[in-house]
Structures are given as C-alpha cells and as structure tokens.
A and B are shown apart, each in its own frame.
Chain A
Amino acid sequence: MRKSRWIGVGLTVSALVLSGCSAGPAGTNVAQDTKAPLELWTRTTPGGAGEQATKRLAEAFEKASGFKVQVTAIFDDFETKLAQRAAQRDLPDIVMNDVTQVGTLKSQGLVREIEQGKIKHAAELTEQALKSNQTPDGKLYGLPYSAQASALLIRKDWREKLGKSVPQSWPELVDLAKAFTTGDPDGNGKNDTAGLNATLSTKRGYASWYFSNFLWAAGGDFITEAGGGKYKPSMSTPESVAAVQWFRDLGCKDNVIQPGSVTMPTPATNETFEAGKAGLYVVGPYLLPRFDKALGKDKYEVVPMPKGAKNADVLAEGLSIYMMAGSPNQAGQDAFGDFAISADGQKIGMEGETAFIVQLPVNKNVDIAQVRPDPRWKTYAEIYAKSGHYAPSIPNWTPVRQDTADTVSALIADCKLDTKAELAKLDTKLTTTLQQQGISAS
C-alpha cells in the first residue's frame, strides 16, 4: 500500500521531469527587457581579490552603459551550481569561466550563439583567442577575455650555483633536471631536491593537462582532425609514443621528477616548488604573485620552454564570457561582452596586485608592457603569441583529458608497464569517447 503510493509519487515526478522536454531551442522565446539587471557568475573565490576585480569591471561597465550588473563569485563545484540552476530553468545571464567549457555548455544548450557583428570590439580580438571559442561548425559561443600560456620556471639560484645555463633544447633541460636532482643545489647536504616538478594526479585530468606541454612540441597529439569536424585518436603515432617515452624516462630512468608526483594535484605541486623541493616547473603566469611572496622574485626566473622535436608549443588556456540561454536582456549581455574585450575593459581587468581577472589581454590594441611593466609578463605574452596551443573545442574535452591522464599517470607510476601497449589501449578508449560525442572519424 505504501509502496504503491510511492510509485505514484515517482511517476508524478518523472512526468514532471520528462515534460521539461517541451522547451524550444535555447534562448529564443524569452521576452526581452533591457532594464533587467544582469546576473553574472564568475569562477573565483568568494571574498577574494578576483571577485573584487570582477566587481570593479562590472561597476565600470555600469557607468559606461547604464546596464545593471550583479556579481556572484563561485569557485568549487561551479558546474554543480550551474546544473542546479539549469534544472530550475533559470540560468544566470553571464557566466565567466574556462574556455574548455565551451563545447559542453553548447551541447547542453546552456549558451546562446554570439553574433560577431553585434560585438563592436570583436574585430580587435587576436585570431588565436577567437578561434579557441569557436565550435567546430565555426560558430562563436564564447567571448575570450583572458589568455595565458605555460612557461618554464627555473630556480635561478640553483642553476647559477651549479654553473648551468638556461636550457635551449630538451637534452639541456634533462641535463639541468639531473643536476638539480643530484647536485644538492640548496646546499643542505640532503638529497631532497628534484629536477622537474610535475602535476601527474589523475584528478580532473591534471596529468594530461601538464603533459600537453611536452606532447605537442614533440610532434604528437591527443586527437587529430580528420576533416569534416571529425577526429581520430593519435596517441599511438610514432611522435606521440616517442613523446610519452621521453617523459616516462624522466621519471622511470633518470628519476628527475619529484617523488609522489602521481598523486599530486596542483595545490601540492605548487607547494613543492614553493618549499624548494623541485627546481623546474611548467606553469601559467597566475602563480607569479604567490611565488614572488613565498620565494622572492630573485630566486626564480621565467623562460620559454625550449624547442622540442617539432616546435615549442605549450598549453594555452583562457577564460571566456558566456552568454547564457534564456536571458531576458540579450542586449545587456552583448554590451557587457563588448565592454570586457574593449581596450578599456581589458585594462581594468588587468589591474591588481595579487589577483586579476585578465592574465594576458586578448585585445590586439592592448600592449601588456604598458599595463604591467614587469618583463616577465612580456615573456609570457610572447610565448602565448608564438607557441600557445589551445585544446580543441570538441563537444566535451573532459573525457578525453581524463582518459589520457589515466594512462600518462599510470605509466609514470608503474615503470613495469609497456608504453606502446598502454597507448594502444588508450587510443581504443578515445575512439569510444569520440564516438559517444559523434565526432569519431571511424
């Protein structure tokens, strides 16, 4: 009796849930109101400097345009909160989040297309940044407003103490890493320093994220385009295998990767570099303020990654402004996006000492050296322009990143595994993943 009551409740709920299918295409039939305040979500720590910077940008925008903006900062579980609002069919108007989300957000129908014609300053965006926000069909679903790339951070004091020069090639890099590991560069008589600091945990696909700095430059790739918007897995190509083997040797043969790397996500590896336990770290510019404070500017230097077999490509990432579906104020959305990418908006975003919302500007007319005189920023900007390599904007990059992270991390953790065999398995897995997204070439 009780059971049947519950079944009844269950059916009702299911019906309610299922009936949600009747909605039309995202964002087309909502009544417009240009006076409606814009709800903006940004992925940064509540109460932190990033939130304040976003609020500053929002205020400047309000003054310039008359639209009202309300800023909410959410960091962890951003996706869960967004899913919650999606289930309530009440999305915020603007979301500022990672560029890698563009595929997922689009395939879930949460963002609307951005018409470049309506955004005045879109013409001032760098090609690279613009392309990273386009889905394979060429349409624009996010507006880039910040960019960054990875550079090689070296413990300058250690390097000089051991009499080495800045590595210009990968063999020199390995040499330096070995010196850091065995040469006791911090002079404390203990064998406690490692060469390369690597984030190889499988959490959030970190291992893959870190390894991409060594894969593309060696001529390999996770997946390659096969024409017509389709992709095929490419971790078993000779170049990819060579890249993986080279990286693996660092850990299994030369022992220059920091101990415990396979269970370390970024907070732990940041600490490792900061505490002087490793001498080389490939990472973006957002850690400069923290390392300056903990280590001191003079202790470490920022240089481009040396050229690999193919080029010096490193991981480029960025943040985008997404215009969410179902907004009652599309004109306001467009205006905000336009403002954030304009030279003025970019400059405001770049202000700040410890946390700014714009790392490297995406507007061609903004020269980083003018806003941030620190020459290390110019280095980063040059690296981004020359060697920045974004992840492809497939419908969902996360599973690809996860699958590759699992394999890369495993190969470093277990030196008995066979590289070629594991990579072949990985390719099979990737094929399935690509098929699930409808973009498999096979």
Chain B
Amino acid sequence: MTVDHAKPAAVGADRPATERAPAPKARRRSDRDGKWWTPWLFLAPALILFVYFKFIPMITAVTMSFQDVQPYLGNQWVGGQNYGTVLGDEAFHSAIWHTVIIAVGQTVGSMVIGLALALLMEGQSKRLKFLRSAAFLPVVVPIAVVAELWRIMYHPTEDGMLNSILGLVGLGPSGFINDPDTSMVSVIVTGIWRGAPYDMMIFLAGLAGIDRGLYEAATVDGASRWRKILHVTLPGLRSVFSILFVLAAIRGLRVFTEVFLLTNGGPNGSTEVAMTLIYKLGLEQNRLGVGAAGAVLLFLATLVLTLFVQVLRRRRDA
C-alpha cells in the first residue's frame, strides 16, 4: 500500500493537524490502510463541537481562576489569591477527605450492586423486562425529587420510614442525615441507590456482548455457576469495568447535587465535599474567580488520579 501524502486541502473540515507538514515517519503507521487524515475526518465533528463548547470555556474558566471576576466592571488579575482562598479554608482539608470517602463508597457500592443486579436481571422474559424498567427508575427520577424522597425516608424519629424498618430488626432509631456521625453513610447509601441501576445498565450491555458459546463450553466442561462467572463473565466485562471505573472516579470526585440537596454539607460540615465547598466559597457569594480556582484544583486532582489509574492498568496488562 502506498503512503498517500495528498494535500489535506482535499477535505475542507477543520483539522488542526494540517498545520504540520506530513513527515517521512508517517510511513511506519501501523494501520496499513486508508489515508492518514481519515481518523481526523471522523473526529472532525466531535472536535469542532468540543473546541467551541468545552475547550474554549475551560480555558476561560482557568483564566478566571486567576482573576477577581466582576462581570460588569471588568475582571482584575489577582494571581494566586483565589487559590490561596480555597486552599487556606479550614474546611478544605476535611472536604477533600469527605469527597474521597464518598467517592470510593459510592463507586464500589454502585459497581458491586450494579453487577449483581445485572446478573440477576439478565434474560429475555417479559417479567425481567418489567423488573429491569422498575429497577431503572432511580436513574430517571430528577435528582431533586430523589433527595426529597430520601430526606423523608431518613426522618430521624422512630416512626421515620427507614427507622421503622430498622426497628423491625431490633436496631435503634438513627439520626441519618441529621446526625454528624451517620450523615456520610446516609449520603453514600442514597448515592448507591441511584448509581447501582446506572451501572447495571452498562453491565447489561456488556453482558450482552459475551459469547454464549463460551457459556456452552463451560457447562460442557462441568463448570459451576461461580466458575462460569469468574472465568467467562468477568473477563468479558473488562472494558465495561474500565469505563465504569474511570467514569465513577470522575463522577465521585465531582459529587455535588445529592449532598447539596440532602445536607448542604452539614450537619456541622460532616458531609462537606469539594464541590459544595467551592459552591459556598465561590458561586453563592458571587466570587466566580474563587469558584473557578477550586474547580481547577479539583480538575487537576481528577486528571492526576485518572492518569495514575491508566498507568497502573497498562502496567498490569503488560
């Protein structure tokens, strides 16, 4: 196959790569087929939209983080002052800690229960179809409504809904979100309630792609259910696990709405997470620069974490 260095002008899409003169090393491309600009052509629509609606605003936001943002009077450069405000806030350290705990708790819980749900609800029957739709409901209900529902369920007296259920098994009434000792667990449980069906969906899609022939073969070999799952299902879900893990990590660090609506970071800052703090310090007080600084810090932390996980995975696969 000849290498075609045809002029990129042949296709008029916006491709930033065109500035670069095609170098001789293009010859050692690993896909021996198609023009070198084909991938960029496929990527073009995505890239245009991303540049306009994601990258440019992101850069603006980073710029804002170094400014005292006054939309009308004009922004003023303050250097690292906003970062100082965020990092110096005494609630900052505990907020980071809470964020990590809630993120880990929700991620693990949602994935484990989500997988269990998917395995239990896999199948063709009408009954399962109905069940799946019912199990999916927590995802479609607006988060504000979910928070209201859970606040009612968490009512701290003896006849609060969850407390009555706990009472049935002999456990005392809990303060749930109103008690600083149990508030974090309560938030995590609500998060798992919403996150497990979400993960279940993606697991179902992954399960659908597993070769049924492998199950046949395993049965023929006399494998039990457990071994089938361990040796056929789980490996087949590898790509699903990787998406879910990365997405969950990102979602987890950014957790905001359920905490905001259930406890607003209280009681007494026991559920304060990075985003609620950023909101309090920045947006609620109209200090967009501070908010942007906090967001950039959060972004860097997430980026580092994700890259770290990717590196670990590469090393493990190698």
Contact = CB atoms under 8 A, between A and B. Distances in A.
Touch A–B, Cβ below 8 Å: yes
Given A262-B178, A396-B285, A201 B71 contact: no
Given A5-B16, A263-B267, A21 B151 contact: no
Contact of B151 (A10, A260, A398): A260
A204 B71 contact: no
A79 B73 CA distance: 16
Given A6-B55, A13-B60, A409-B266, A83 B73 contact: no
A261 B151 CA distance: 11
Contact of B19 (A1, A23, A265): A1
Contact of B156 (A204, A260, A410): A260
Interface stretch (B114-122, B257-265, B299-307): B257-265
A410 B71 contact: no
Contact of A13 (B63, B262, B285): B63
A259 B284 contact: no
Which of B71, B73, B178 gathers most chain A CB within 10 Å?
A: B71
A89 B280 CA distance: 26
Interface string A1-14: 11001100110011
Given A6-B55, A414-B180, A83 B74 contact: no
A358 interface: no
A259 B174 CA distance: 12
B26 to A, nearest CB: 15
Nearest to B263: A263
Secondary structure of the B contact surface, majority rule: loop
Nearest to B288: A83
Contacts of B260: 203
Contact of A417 (B63, B179, B268, B286): B268
Interface string A82-115: 0110110101000000000000100011100000
A402 B55 CA distance: 33
Given A1-B20, A398-B285, A202 B62 contact: no
A201 B264 contact: yes
Nearest to A261: B178
A314 to B, nearest CB: 25
Contacts of A262: 178, 266-267
Contact of B178 (A18, A260, A417): A260
Given A9-B56, A10-B59, A398-B285, A325 B264 contact: no
Contact of A26 (B64, B72, B76): B72
A13 B75 CA distance: 12
B70 interface: yes
B71 A108 contact: yes
Contact of B71 (A5, A18, A86, A268): A86
A265 B147 CA distance: 12
Contacts of B280: 402
Given A13-B59, A17-B63, A413 B73 contact: no
B72 A91 contact: yes
A89 B73 CA distance: 9
Contact of A192 (B159, B263, B266): B159
A259 B157 contact: yes
Interface residues of A, number: 50
B177 interface: yes
B155 interface: yes
Interface in B166-180: 177-180
A368 B111 CA distance: 61
A231 B74 CA distance: 28
A110 B286 CA distance: 13
A268 B261 CA distance: 12
Which of A14, A18, A398 gathers most chain B CB within 10 Å?
A: A14
Contacts of B286: 79, 83, 104, 108, 396, 398
Interface string B231-268: 00000000000000000000000000000101111111
A37 interface: no
Contacts of B56: 9, 13
A18 B264 CA distance: 34
B269 interface: yes
Given A10-B62, A18-B75, A108-B72, 17 more contacts: A2-B17, A10-B60, A17-B75, A18-B77, A23-B73, A86-B72, A108-B73, A202-B264, A259-B157, A259-B178, A260-B178, A263-B267, A325-B72, A410-B268, A413-B179, A413-B268, A414-B267
Interface of A: 1-2, 5-6, 9-10, 13-14, 17-18, 20-23, 26, 79, 83-84, 86-87, 89, 91, 104, 108-110, 190, 192, 201-204, 259-263, 265, 268, 325, 396, 398-399, 402, 406, 409-410, 413-414, 417
Interface of B: 16-17, 19-20, 55-56, 59-60, 62-64, 67, 70-77, 151, 154-157, 159-160, 177-180, 260, 262-269, 280, 284-286, 288
24 contacts: A2-B17, A5-B19, A9-B55, A9-B56, A10-B60, A10-B63, A13-B59, A13-B60, A14-B63, A17-B67, A17-B75, A18-B67, A20-B74, A21-B73, A21-B76, A104-B286, A108-B70, A109-B70, A259-B178, A261-B178, A402-B280, A406-B266, A406-B268, A410-B266
